[in-house]
């Protein structure tokens, strides 16, 4: 009996020891006072966040970007933001004219694409609102608007798009300077847009004026001689390099990116930059002063989006050959950078402030813009 009672005491003591003992597994280098948490459950990877539903669904814009590019930018912005964009494609000159005419009864909230001198002119007419997106910090100061009315989204230089088949067939030297464009062998073989309707062509005109400096008379004499070799003035800047690509003319004056689109698609195009130096554009985007009230927040979102590396790297996907202004954006391989070209100290502010006067002089002394080719 005593043995049995002793056995019960031993069993009880063992059970007590087990119940009161430390049953936690040892932890290496425990953190003092660290909270005890449950083991994480196994879950699926976090899904990509869906764009938030915007407070207002729509945004309306005028854009000078080519129709071959613009839809892809719009589709990407819509996917990223959930905002539906209503857009109309116009040349830069037409865009400015329409916004000015509609100022009292606005139909859009943003102007998008086209050279910055067009935007400088719009500022002078009181058409733009000051809005500087955070993304402007990622662009070189030389491309930005100190007053904060417009933001830079790409860069491109003016040059000569030459149809190599024509030059091989006619055994004629390529033009390497602005002076060469006056040669008689190019009579009827040059195409350029009209500066009153095209930002591209106005950049050409402003470049010539700045090359001649104070000798405005000599500049206009040059333009008259150049005009004698022009077969046709087109309405939009993109139409001229298309004519060169199709062999309708030998030479088109254009931004390099608009010509290289055709070269990349297999057309016989060679890009040449003038030895005296050339002008360039800083393509821009801006908020209208009298835009549609409900769209103002969406307009700012769009401008900010345009400044991102994500948006500007679409220039690679589209093979548009535009140079991004965002220093973090990748650049299309093999593109000629502005730093590699001889460029003039192009004054976009001067060009914008003198746009109306120079276009009027061009109409009076060179070409009156009748019967423009589309």
Q: What is the DSSP string of 114-182?
A: EEHHHHHHHHHTT-B-----GGGGGS-GGGS-TTSSEEEEEEEEEEEEEEHHHHHHHT-PPP-STGGGG
Query: Using one digit for the tens of pLDDT, what is the confidence trace for 111-153?
Result: 999 999 999 999 999 999 999 999 999 999 999 999 999 999 9
Query: Using one digit for the tens of pLDDT, what is the confidence trace for 163-184?
Result: 999 999 999 999 999 999 999 9
Query: Using one digit for the tens of pLDDT, what is the confidence trace for 297-344?
Result: 999 999 999 999 999 999 999 889 999 999 999 999 888 889 999 999
Q: Are 244 and 146 in contact (CB under 8 A)?
A: no
Q: Please report, for residues 255, 322, 326, the alpha-carbon distance to residue 329 in angstroms, rounded to integers and kept in the order given.
A: 21, 12, 5
* Per-residue model confidence (pLDDT) at position 373: 60
- Give 320's DSSP letter: -
Residue carrying structure tokens 């003992």: 21
Share of the chain above pLDDT 90, in %: 77
pLDDT band with cut points at 50, 70 and 90 for residue 221: very high
Q: What is the mean pLDDT of residues 188-217?
A: 96
CA distance 177 to 86: 42
* Per-residue model confidence (pLDDT) at position 334: 82
Q: Is the pLDDT of residue 5 over 50?
A: no
* Per-residue model confidence (pLDDT) at position 369: 66
CA distance 302 to 306: 6
Query: Using one digit for the tens of pLDDT, what is the confidence trace for 351-362?
Result: 999 999 999 999
The CB density around residue 351, as the number of other CB atoms within 10 Å, is 25
| pTM, entire model | 0.79
* Per-residue model confidence (pLDDT) at position 41: 35
Q: Is the pLDDT of residue 28 over 80?
A: no
CA distance 98 to 60: 14
Q: Is the pLDDT of residue 4 over 70?
A: no
- Give 270's DSSP letter: E
Q: Which residues contact 303 (CB under 8 A, 6 or more apart)?
A: 110, 131, 133, 151, 285, 286, 287
pLDDT band with cut points at 50, 70 and 90 for residue 374: low
């Amino acid at each position: 009996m005593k043995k049995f009672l002793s056995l019960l005491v031993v069993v009880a003591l063992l059970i007590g020891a087990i119940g009161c003992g430390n049953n936690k597994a040892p932890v290496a280098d425990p953190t003092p006072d660290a909270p005890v948490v449950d083991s994480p459950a196994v879950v699926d990877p976090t899904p990509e966040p869906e764009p938030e539903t915007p407070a207002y669904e729509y945004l309306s814009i005028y854009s000078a970007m080519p129709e071959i590019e613009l839809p892809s930018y719009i589709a990407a912005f819509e996917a990223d933001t959930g905002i539906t964009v209503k857009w109309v494609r116009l040349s830069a000159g037409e865009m400015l004219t329409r916004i000015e005419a509609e100022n009292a009864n606005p139909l859009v909230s943003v102007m998008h694409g086209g050279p910055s001198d067009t935007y400088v002119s719009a500022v002078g007419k009181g058409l733009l609102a000051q809005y500087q997106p955070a993304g402007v910090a990622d662009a070189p100061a030389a491309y930005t608007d100190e007053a904060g009315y417009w933001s830079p989204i790409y860069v491109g230089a003016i040059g000569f798009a030459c149809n190599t088949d024509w030059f091989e067939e006619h055994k004629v030297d390529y033009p390497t300077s602005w002076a060469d464009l006056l040669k008689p062998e190019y009579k009827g073989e040059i195409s350029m847009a009209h500066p009153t309707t095209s930002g591209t062509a106005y950049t050409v005109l402003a470049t010539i004026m700045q090359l001649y400096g104070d000798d405005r008379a000599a500049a206009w004499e040059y333009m008259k001689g150049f005009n004698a070799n022009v077969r046709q003035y087109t309405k939009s800047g993109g139409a001229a390099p298309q004519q060169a690509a199709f062999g309708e003319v030998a030479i088109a004056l254009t931004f390099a990116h608009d010509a290289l689109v055709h070269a990349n698609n297999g057309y016989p195009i060679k890009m040449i930059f003038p030895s005296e130096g050339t002008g360039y554009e800083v393509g821009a985007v801006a908020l209208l002063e009298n835009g549609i009230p409900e769209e103002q927040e969406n307009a700012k979102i769009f401008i900010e989006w345009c400044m991102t590396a994500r948006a500007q790297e679409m220039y690679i996907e589209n093979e548009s050959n535009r140079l991004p202004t965002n220093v973090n954006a990748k650049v299309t391989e093999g593109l000629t950078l502005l730093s590699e070209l001889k460029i003039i100290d192009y004054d976009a502010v001067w060009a914008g402030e003198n746009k109306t006067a120079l276009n009027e002089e061009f109409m009076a002394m060179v070409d009156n813009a009748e019967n423009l080719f589309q």
